Structures are given as C-alpha cells and as structure tokens.
Amino acid sequence: MNICVFLSAADLAETYTRPARELARLIGQGGHTLVWGGSNVGLMKVVADGVHASGGRLMGVSVHFLVDKVRPGVDDMVIAQDLAERKRLLLDKADAVVIMVGGTGTLDEATEILELKKHGHTDMPVVLLNTAGFYDGLKEQFRRMEDEGFLPRPLSELMFFADEPVEAMTYLKESLGDR
C-alpha cells in the first residue's frame, strides 16, 4: 500500500523520533511505499531512513522552493510547482494517510484530506497519530465540531485516532486489506 505520511521536517526530540522510527519500520517491513514530502531533513528524514532501511519504497513529492532539501536516491520523486499541487499529488499517489506531529504545513495537509473525506471525494483511511498527546487539543476541537453539528459525517468516518504506530498500521491493514 502507498501510505502518505504528513509530518514535520523539524529536528525533534526522542519523544517524537521514536514513534517515527517505529512507524517507518512497520511501513518498510510490510513492503509498503512511503509517500511523503520528499525532504531529507528532520522527522521526514527519520521516517524515510527507516522505511528505506526496512525494505520499503520511497515516493517523494517536493516543491520548487524546497528542492535543496530533497532526499537523493529515492524510488520516485516529483517536484510540484506549488504547495497546492504538492498536496494534490501526495493524495493522488496514496492509498491511506497517517498524520504525525507537525506544524502549520502538517495541519494544512491534514485539513485538506479531511475536507475531501467530509464531502465524499475520497474514502481512503486517515489516521491521526497522537504521539505523546500532541494532538489532544485538536482531537477535542474535532469532537466539539461533531457535537455541535459542524461535521456532516461522524468523526469516526473521517479519521481514526491512534496513540502508537502499531495501532495506526493495524487500522490501515483492516481498512485496506493486504495491498
């Protein structure tokens, strides 16, 4: 399966790199392909290194203004004209999405896939990996949106919340089978 992972390109503490390495190992050992922002820095590098070392494939989608951070030697790399095209290409190439810790770019990517799901434009599974409670506030906000009628579909149809990478991969396998 092609698993799009939205995540930070920042250098982060072990609290965040440990689960990133674990998810990467599970993706690679499963023979899956990582679809990611193509960066060779920070948490993006940690995940790409782990997937590659564990036997998985790497499919990157970067953007012109970040070309100096692109990882060399990947299986497939596309350079998009802008961030909107990058998001579209990432999602077009994916069978599933995992949202890991990140900043505004990750949040933008996460809300894009949720909008597409909300309006029925995709049915791919989406997992929010809530490492160390990073997304507790966002999870609460999503639940409030659901409770107060802002979501036309139940939150459980839009995304699955996982605390650990193994939960995320189990959910994806159950959702998509042995792709």
**Phi and psi, residue 56, nearest 5°:** -85, 170
pLDDT greater than 70 at residue 179: no
142 touches 126 (CB < 8 A):
no
Torsion of CA 122, 70, 10, 171, to 10 degrees: 30
> Packing angle between helix 83-92 and helix 104-118, nearest 10 degrees?
50
The tens digit of pLDDT for each residue in 4-57 reads 999 999 999 999 999 999 999 999 999 999 999 999 999 999 999 999 999 999
In this prediction, residue 148 carries a pLDDT of 96
The tens digit of pLDDT for each residue in 125-157 reads 999 999 999 999 999 999 999 999 999 899 999
In this prediction, residue 172 carries a pLDDT of 97
Instruction: Answer yes or no: pTM beyond 0.75.
Output: yes
DSSP 19-47: HHHHHHHHHHHTT-EEEE--B-SHHHHHH
